[in-house]
């Protein structure tokens, strides 16, 4: 067969990349074509995504792809992080820059929401973990602070839906990314309209969802002309990056109610879970704050969101501001040389969500818990990594209890697989073999 190429636009909280997958009928060759940075910026009193800059990075990558693969490119799809969104107006205009999930506007809204609808009722309707970054609480913040935006909006689009719309001109709501919102019912496969109504949110913003694999149309003519691409189809992947990552795990066992393996999607976040054949919406899941998110092929990803490499990313950013330009390999090497198991902090502590000085925030938590205060760059990084590994180990034990068996192996996917030290720490802390990839 003729060589066919598909393009993946993979956008994360700290960067984006364009990857080509070339298939000749026998072998699939993956190649990273372009990489660019991403991150929230302070604007108008809020932490927002530079969506224009993000889109510019995507276009640059598509030009590289067109130059390298000519007319062999057949399709393109986009995956991103979850929960964040913006709105489209009736005239097909972007209403506002997407606000970052780390913005402070949602603080205290879980408790406020539970005064309207109980925690149990919300969980039964959505099966989702309670964390303030969820789309539901972002919408409640808008209802409180910017109701005019809800009035002017015609449709809510999650971040990958927005990029698919920019590429094709066609609106869509893909199921796996919709499942991250706490506005979606994983058991019915539809938006939780009864719940949204009780919160006073307009249900007409939420349109029917599409499955991964759905072809929404060709890229726009102006995009094709600008980038040099031909008649490329826009095909929805598992638009939540974790859904696509888990679909790529090289596990032979099909999804079941009692799986033998689990996964960690390791990047800015550490998403620890198992792939099931159906949602698990039980009091035990609620008590342990687990979540049911959609997977590729109609599967369910039972998981918990934990802090991943965020601590080290923000430590590095803080050190860069002071003129110390450590790269990732240097920081990991310094951590490896530091004394092990001196200080373990709560990697999910609220003070670590968006501090101005992450190394200092880590030291303060160590001091508050009467543990040795890390006094060097390597010690700070080691504390961060070991704390993440400890949280992952505890979560794996909880996951074992929920599915009724001990997971025999852990597959780690995502950019974090490059940190061999953290992968080994997770294996040691959990006493399980780890497969990187």
| Active site residue ranges | 241
Tokens of 231: 């008649």
Return the residue matching tokens 């990349």: 17
Count of helix runs (H) and strand runs (E) in the chain: 16, 18
Strands 28-37 and 261-266: unpaired
Which H or E run includes 393?
helix 377-403
Task: Measure CA of the first residue to CA of the last residue in the chain; give whole Å.
Answer: 29
- If you ran DSSP here, which 8-state letter would residue 418 be given? G
CA distance 104 to 121: 25
- Helices 377-403 and 358-368 cross at an angle (nearest 10°) of 70
Q: What's the burial of 236, exposed, middle or buried (CB within 10 Å: 0-12/13-18/19+)?
A: buried
Which tokens go with 305? 């969101």
161: left (phi over 0), alpha (psi -120 to 50) or beta: alpha
3-state DSSP assignment of residue 219? coil
* CA–CA separation, 434 and 56 (whole Å): 37
Count of beta carbons in the 10 Å neighbourhood of residue 128: 28
Evaluate whether 117 touches 198 at the Cβ level (below 8 Å).
Answer: yes
DSSP 24-89: -SS-EEEEEEEEEE--EEEETTEEEE-HHHHHHHHHHHHHHHHHHHGGGEEEEEEEB-SS-EEEE-
| H-only helix segments in 288-357 | 310-321, 328-337
Four-CA torsion 215, 217, 223, 228, nearest 10 degrees: 70
> Cβ(154)–Cβ(90) under 8 Å?
yes
């Amino acid at each position: 067969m003729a060589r066919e190429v598909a393009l993946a636009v993979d956008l994360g909280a700290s960067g984006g990349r364009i990857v080509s997958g070339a298939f000749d009928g026998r072998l699939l060759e993956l190649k990273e074509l372009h990489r660019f940075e991403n991150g929230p910026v302070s604007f108008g009193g809020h932490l927002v995504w530079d969506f224009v800059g993000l889109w510019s990075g995507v276009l640059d990558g598509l030009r590289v792809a067109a130059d390298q693969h000519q007319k062999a490119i057949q399709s393109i799809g986009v995956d991103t992080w979850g929960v964040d969104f913006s709105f489209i107006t009736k005239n097909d205009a972007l209403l506002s820059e997407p606000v970052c999930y780390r913005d402070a506007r949602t603080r205290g809204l879980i408790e406020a929401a539970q005064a309207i609808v109980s925690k149990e009722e919300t969980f039964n309707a959505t099966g989702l973990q309670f964390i303030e970054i969820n789309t539901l609480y972002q919408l409640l913040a808008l209802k409180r602070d910017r109701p005019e935006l809800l009035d002017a909006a015609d449709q809510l689009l999650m971040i990958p839906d927005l990029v698919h719309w920019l590429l094709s001109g066609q609106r869509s709501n893909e199921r796996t990314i919709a499942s991250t919102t706490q506005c979606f019912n994983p058991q019915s496969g539809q938006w939780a309209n009864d719940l949204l109504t009780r919160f006073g949110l307009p249900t007409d913003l939420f349109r029917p969802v599409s499955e991964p694999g759905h072809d929404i149309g060709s890229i726009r003519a102006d995009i094709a002309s600008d980038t040099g691409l031909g008649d490329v189809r826009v095909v929805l992947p598992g638009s939540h990056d974790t859904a696509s990552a888990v679909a790529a795990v090289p596990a032979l066992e099909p999804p079941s109610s009692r799986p033998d393996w689990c996964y960690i999607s390791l990047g800015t976040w550490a998403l620890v879970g198992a792939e099931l054949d159906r949602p698990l919406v039980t009091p035990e899941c609620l008590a342990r704050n687990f979540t049911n998110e959609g997977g590729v092929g109609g599967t369910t990803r039972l998981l918990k969101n934990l802090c991943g490499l965020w601590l080290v990313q923000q430590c590095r950013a803080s050190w860069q501001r002071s003129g110390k330009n450590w790269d990732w390999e240097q920081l990991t090497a310094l951590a490896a040389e530091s004394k092990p198991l001196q200080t373990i902090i709560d990697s999910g502590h609220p003070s670590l969500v968006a501090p101005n000085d992450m190394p200092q925030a880590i030291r303060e938590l160590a001091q508050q818990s009467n543990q040795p205060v890390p006094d060097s760059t390597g010690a700070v990084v080691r504390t961060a990594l070991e704390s993440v590994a400890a949280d992952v180990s505890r979560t794996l034990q909880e996951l074992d209890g929920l599915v009724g068996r001990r997971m025999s192996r852990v597959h780690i996917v995502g950019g974090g697989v490059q940190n061999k030290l953290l992968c080994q720490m997770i294996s040691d802390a959990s006493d399980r073999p780890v497969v990187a990839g």
